[in-house]
Structure 1
Amino acid sequence: MMNEESLQVIMGLIMHSGDAKSHAMEAIQSAKASDFSMADEKLEAAKESLVKAHQSQTEMLTKEAQGESTEITLLTVHSQDHLMTGIAFTDLAKEIVDLYKVIDKK
């Protein structure tokens, strides 16, 4: 069974990764409405959420490197999936916002 500390780290990873994806989606919606200032703010918020998610992941990796292995459960895999989705979605949102900016100038 997973200990409470590991569960907290994994839930932090899921939460912050999900926040990043939500902020990225809001950035796209803002850009679509030509509110580029808000879109940039949302992309920055997504970036900050990803930093927090990475901190959770780094905590897990550090413990692993110190010999304290993390029990691999579906929840652990799910947390990594959330992180990768958050990263990919944020990267794509940046590109989409940039495209809306180009379209708006024409």
Structure 2
Amino acid sequence: MNTEKIAFDIISLAGDAKAELQAALKLAHQGKFTEAQAQIDKATPQLQKAHELQTQELLTREANGEKLSFNVLISHAQDYLMTTYILKDMVIEIIQLYSIIKK
């Protein structure tokens, strides 16, 4: 798989996960915690798949000596994936706070 395809796949998966996480936050704001958790559960495999692509298709190949083309698209994909992981952590924390506040 070429690096551009990998980058687009990572961006797409992370983008889908980000949308699920944003939906989870909105649901939690409304006090719908079960539905919010379901949205987080939808985001998790998308992030895992993006991470697998990053690890197997980029990091492992390069560690094995393959020279991969590095470009802004790959940089963007890496950045988008990492910020979405951070968003997931923050959404989980914010939802826990909402659950305390809304008791």
The two structures have a TM-score, normalised by structure 1, of: 0.90
Q: How many residues align?
A: 102
Gaps of 5+ in 1: none
The answer to whether the 8 A contact 2:3-2:74 is kept is no
The question of whether the paired residues in 2 share the 8 Å contact of 1:21 and 1:85 is answered with no
1:56 matches 2:64: no
Q: Which residue of 2 is the match for residue 99 of structure 1?
A: 97
* Deviation digits for residues 73-96 of structure 1 (CA, Å, limit 9, x no counterpart): 010101111011111111100011
Unaligned runs of 5+ in 2: none
Distance apart, 1:70 and its partner CA: 1.6
Q: Say whether residues 1:11 and 2:16 are aligned partners.
A: no
Runs of 4+ in 1 over 2 A off after TM superposition: none
Q: Matches of residues 10-49 of structure 1 in structure 2 within 5 Å?
A: 10-49=7-46
One-letter identity of the residue aligned with 2:28? A
Matched, 1:81 2:75: no
- When the two structures are superposed, what TM-score results if normalisation uses the length of structure 2? 0.92
Paired AA for residue 18 in structure 2 = K
Distance in 2 between residues matched to 1:84 and 1:12, nearest whole Å: 14
Letter in 2 for 1:18: G
Amino acid at match of 1:44: D
Q: CA deviation at 1:5?
A: 2.3
Give, in whole Å, the separation in 2 of the partners of 1:47 and 1:31. 17
Distance in 2, Cα, partners of 1:104 & 1:79? 36
Percentage of identical aligned residues: 36
RMSD between aligned residues: 1.2
